Chains A and B, each alone.
Chain A
Amino acid sequence: MKIKRINALMKKELIRVIREPANLFMVLIFPLILTLSFGVAFGALGSGGDIQYRVGIVDDDASDWSKWFQSNITKTRVLSIVGYEDQNSAYKDLQTGGVSAVLVIPESFSASIEGFLADPGSSSWQRSTLELALDQGSMIVGSVVPQFIQQALTLTIYGEASLSQPSPVVIGKPTLVNSLKLTQFDYLVPGVFSFGAIFISLIVAQVLTEERNTGILARISTTPTTASEIFTSMICANLVTGVVQVLIILGSSILMGFRPQTGLTGIIVAMVATLLLVVVNVGFGLIVASISKTSSSATGIGFIFILPQMFLGSFVPAPESVSRLAPTFYVTETLKNLFLRGAEAGSIAVQFNILILVLYALTVASLGVYIFNRLGKK
């Protein structure tokens, strides 16, 4: 491989992003508008900071612990509570939009906490589970409410103490949140990073389909340029675009009040995670280009790969078991760990997600190159 050829092809790709309005919008302006819009709607700087979601509480425990827990929920300032005597009336209100969520505190709530705090090391304490029902019609509720409730729960059990101990009471997967000042926007930002990168698959598919149909790929093949140089240049150009995209989203989200709970190392690791997603999406783009006859059909087929990534792993709430199939999930999780939970860049959770992304990137990119070489050049 010759660096000069890779540079030449990379340069023309980057010029294309700048000079083609559709590409410029999709790759760089769209994420900017999305971040700013979310910032205005849900961030502390906009009116969204004053939005409160009503959570119906059915307190079957009725103890000091459960009252303290409810008090911590209201302290989030994003959630307000409405008490119910029984579950039926609470669920009725949820169905009619009276509340956005219903939380049932079980009878064993205080006993679990007391047992746990008395002897955390033993197995004698009993684990309790909070029942949480959410308004299915609101993706923001699904994304934001569970995390604020988890935050209130953590504060109830540990106060401001270490957040790394196991919890005796869980709502699904524990999410450790250590700041009272987080807004809904803060919870959405990690998903926006993933959201931006997935559209690169569409651009790659459209460009390759067009270059094949207009004879440009064939023409380049009459020069000493090899297929691996073409693919490498494509990945490199999109990585550069990805870096710019990350900087735009990070800069605009900070402008809108987002404060990542991490340092430079964490930001670099977040960028690496996002760039691995870019490589995955270059691979998806190659696959789409291989099976698309025209640029417009590439746009349609491209959404087969875009929509699952969009709905399963970005800021849209979805069952975690399904979301784990989408590469975006691991980017969003990594960014949540770093930006919201203040996890160390070298922590096991972050390393695990990066490892999954590396495997994803290698597999999809290799598959994309293989399929394009077999089918895409015709």
Chain B
Amino acid sequence: MLYIDTKDADSVETGKAIEIKRLVKRFGDIVAVDGLSLDIYRGEVFGLLGPNGAGKTTIINILAGLVKPTKGSASVGGLDVDKQIGKIREIIGVCPQQSAYYKYLTGRENIGMYGELHSMDAELIKSRTQHLVEKIGLTESIDRKTDGYSGGMVRRINLAMALIHDPPFVFLDEPTAAMDPQSRRATWDFIRDFKERDKTVILTTHYIEEAEELADRVGIIDHGKLIALNTPKALIEENGGGNLEDVFIKLTGRRIREEI
């Protein structure tokens, strides 16, 4: 079996794949997430849009079990992040904002190691790796040590590492940050492919055009609060036209990328 059946891993009855209820996360005096409630549906690409420090990464980290919430609850595929994180980690793929990989391993070895950490058998790892490598366009350099990779190649390898086990839930934290336009386009195609295969995706980004292009719905986050939530088209219409950047300026009084 090349792909995991996503039906096993979400709340089929409600259609809600990810549920977040009154989530709060404080780091000392800083409130990173401030009473966030949100439902994300199965097969949806959900864009979390906001400037740096808005709380996007903290939300991903809570869903992946890397950070414990101060208050509130969250579930992925009907599994509680506080009590069932071990099971959640079997069904999620996380591509972190910071490219985390072993420079002394080749691209193929890096991807393969994550397959082994997900207990995949060798043959499946081999075929999945080949599939992913072709998708991300790294066929020629995949057997070279990643130490010599460009920034864009590293980002693409990181994406492949998160997807080797073909998870039904994918958390992409700024997946195209620092990517060249060509790599960004390839990644966008890749994400569109998830949608076609009924994956549930959370995509954090501060690229307006990325959210407009890929997301079924967009949640605009600022200072840990969800200040707007709808489809990109509806958000634009509700806020007087233009694009998501205009929506963001109208809602927050500033441009999204000024703080980068």
CB within 8 Å of B: which residues of A? Answer: 2, 4-5, 7-9, 11-12, 15-16, 19-20, 214-216, 218-226
List B contacts of A7 (CB < 8 A). 116
Q: When the two chains form their complex, are residues A215 and B98 in contact, meaning their CB atoms are under 8 A apart?
A: yes
Q: In whole angstroms, how far apart are the Cα atoms of A215 and B116 in the complex? A: 19
Q: In whole angstroms, how far apart are the Cα atoms of A225 and B64 in the complex? A: 13
Q: When the two chains form their complex, are residues B113 and A224 in contact, meaning their CB atoms are under 8 A apart?
A: no
Residue of A nearest to B89 (CB): A224
Q: Which of B41-49, B101-109, B214-222 contacts A (4 or more CB under 8 A)?
A: B101-109
Q: Does B80 contact A (CB under 8 A)?
A: no
**Contact A224 to B86, CB < 8 A, known contacts A4-B116, A5-B116, A15-B105:** yes
List A contacts of B100 (CB < 8 A). 214-216, 218-219
Q: In whole angstroms, how far apart are the Cα atoms of A9 and B65 in the complex? A: 21
List B contacts of A5 (CB < 8 A). 116-117, 119
12 interchain pairs, CB-CB under 8 A: A12-B113, A15-B104, A15-B105, A16-B104, A218-B66, A219-B96, A219-B161, A221-B64, A222-B89, A223-B89, A223-B117, A224-B118
Q: How far is the CB of B87 from chain A (nearest CB, A)?
A: 8
Q: In whole angstroms, how far apart are the Cα atoms of A222 and B76 in the complex? A: 13
**Contact A223 to B98, CB < 8 A, known contacts A8-B113, A19-B104:** no
Q: When the two chains form their complex, are residues B109 and A15 in contact, meaning their CB atoms are under 8 A apart?
A: yes
Q: When the two chains form their complex, are residues A224 and B105 in contact, meaning their CB atoms are under 8 A apart?
A: no
Interface residues on B, range: 20 to 34
Q: In whole angstroms, how far apart are the Cα atoms of A360 and B86 in the complex? A: 32
Q: Does B82 contact A (CB under 8 A)?
A: no
Q: In whole angstroms, how far apart are the Cα atoms of A15 and B105 in the complex? A: 8
Q: When the two chains form their complex, are residues B66 and A12 in contact, meaning their CB atoms are under 8 A apart?
A: no
**Contact A222 to B145, CB < 8 A, known contacts A4-B119, A16-B102:** no
Contact flags (1/0) for B116-130 with A, using CB distance below 8 Å? 111100000000000
Q: When the two chains form their complex, are residues B117 and A225 in contact, meaning their CB atoms are under 8 A apart?
A: yes
List A contacts of B96 (CB < 8 A). 215, 218-219, 222
Q: Total A-B residue pairs with C-beta atoms closer than 8 Å?
A: 64
Q: Does B198 contact A (CB under 8 A)?
A: no
List B contacts of A219 (CB < 8 A). 94, 96, 100, 161
Q: Does B210 contact A (CB under 8 A)?
A: no
Q: How far is the CB of A229 from chain B (nearest CB, A)?
A: 9
List B contacts of A224 (CB < 8 A). 86, 89-90, 117-119
Q: How far is the CB of B128 from chain A (nearest CB, A)?
A: 15
Q: Does B92 contact A (CB under 8 A)?
A: yes
Q: How far is the CB of B110 from chain A (nearest CB, A)?
A: 9
Residue of A nearest to B95 (CB): A219
Q: In whole angstroms, how far apart are the Cα atoms of A223 and B105 in the complex? A: 19
Q: How far is the CB of B176 from chain A (nearest CB, A)?
A: 18
9 closest Cβ contacts across the A-B interface? A8-B116, A215-B100, A222-B94, A219-B100, A215-B98, A19-B104, A223-B117, A216-B100, A222-B64
Q: Does B188 contact A (CB under 8 A)?
A: no
Q: In whole angstroms, how far apart are the Cα atoms of A5 and B120 in the complex? A: 10
Name 14 extra pairs, CB < 8 A, besides A5-B119, A15-B104: A2-B119, A5-B117, A9-B113, A12-B105, A218-B100, A221-B65, A221-B66, A222-B64, A222-B65, A222-B89, A222-B96, A223-B114, A223-B117, A224-B90
Q: When the two chains form their complex, are residues B102 and A222 in contact, meaning their CB atoms are under 8 A apart?
A: no
* B92 in complex: contacting residue of A8, A11, A19, A222, CB < 8 Å: A222
Q: In whole angstroms, how far apart are the Cα atoms of A67 and B168 in the complex? A: 88
Q: How far is the CB of B118 from chain A (nearest CB, A)?
A: 6
Residue of B nearest to A16 (CB): B104
List B contacts of A16 (CB < 8 A). 102, 104
Q: In whole angstroms, how far apart are the Cα atoms of A11 and B90 in the complex? A: 21
List B contacts of A8 (CB < 8 A). 113, 116-117
Q: When the two chains form their complex, are residues A12 and B117 in contact, meaning their CB atoms are under 8 A apart?
A: no
Which residues 57-79 of B sit at the A interface, judged by CB distance below 8 A? 64-66
Q: When the two chains form their complex, are residues B118 and A223 in contact, meaning their CB atoms are under 8 A apart?
A: yes
Q: In whole angstroms, how far apart are the Cα atoms of A226 and B87 in the complex? A: 12
List A contacts of B92 (CB < 8 A). 222
List B contacts of A12 (CB < 8 A). 102, 105, 109, 113
List A contacts of B94 (CB < 8 A). 219, 222
Q: In whole angstroms, how far apart are the Cα atoms of A222 and B118 in the complex? A: 10
Q: In whole angstroms, how far apart are the Cα atoms of A226 and B104 in the complex? A: 23
Residue of A nearest to B122 (CB): A4
Q: In whole angstroms, how far apart are the Cα atoms of A7 and B64 in the complex? A: 24
Residue of B nearest to A219 (CB): B100
Centre residue among A7, A15, A219 by max chain B CB count within 10 A = A219
Contact flags (1/0) for B226-249 with A, using CB distance below 8 Å? 000000000000000000000000
Q: In whole angstroms, how far apart are the Cα atoms of A267 and B159 in the complex? A: 48
Residue of B nearest to A214 (CB): B100
Q: How far is the CB of A220 from chain B (nearest CB, A)?
A: 7
